[in-house]
Amino acid sequence: MAHVRTQIRQAVRAALIAGGTSAGPRVYLGRLRPFEVDELPAITIQRGDEQSEAATIGGPIEELDRDYALRITLHVLAADESYEEEIDELAAQVETIIARDAFNAGGAQFIYPTGTTPSESDEGEYIVARDTIEFKARYVTSQLDPTQTR
């Protein structure tokens, strides 16, 4: 069985595809290569940092409380000034779907947005605007088994 982090990413991807964002089925796990114009808008889901701490103090460590940073990047074509509205609309769709359908995806106790970082990149013949929304996902596992939540 996969690590809970993987299960969370896969469940969020499935929710975003089923939820019907303007990116449609173009929701990718860990995609690194640039998008072509006809592949936009799109969403990528990347792994982020994780902090863990013992759920109990003073005895054997049986459970770990884990806070996982899940990064969801929205990619849109910046053909004119309307790209900001387009990316904000896509962000609203993503945040709504996660709050409604994926708040406990993959065994997470909760998932919520903690911040957004905008960026743009020149892909040669076109410019891609991006918003990376960082979500916090909290989950608990056994120290001996990071593939199942408790």
pLDDT value for 114: 97
Cβ atoms 30, 46 nearer than 8 A: yes
Domains located in the chain, CATH noted: 4-149 (3.30.70.1700)
pLDDT value for 116: 97
> How many angstroms separate the Cα of 66 from the Cα of each of 3, 62, 143?
12, 13, 11
| Cα 7 from Cα 107, distance rounded (Å) | 8
**Alpha-carbon radius of gyration of the chain:** 17
> How many angstroms separate the Cα of 80 from the Cα of each of 84, 91, 119?
9, 18, 15
Q: Which two tokens stand for residue 41?
A: 């808008």
| Cα 50 from Cα 64, distance rounded (Å) | 12
Predicted confidence pLDDT, tens digits, the chain (150 residues): 889 999 999 999 999 999 999 999 999 998 999 999 999 999 999 999 999 888 777 666 788 899 999 999 999 999 888 999 999 999 999 999 999 987 787 888 999 999 999 999 887 788 999 999 999 999 998 888 888 888
CB neighbour list of residue 144: distance below 8 Å, 6 or more residues apart: none
pLDDT value for 53: 85
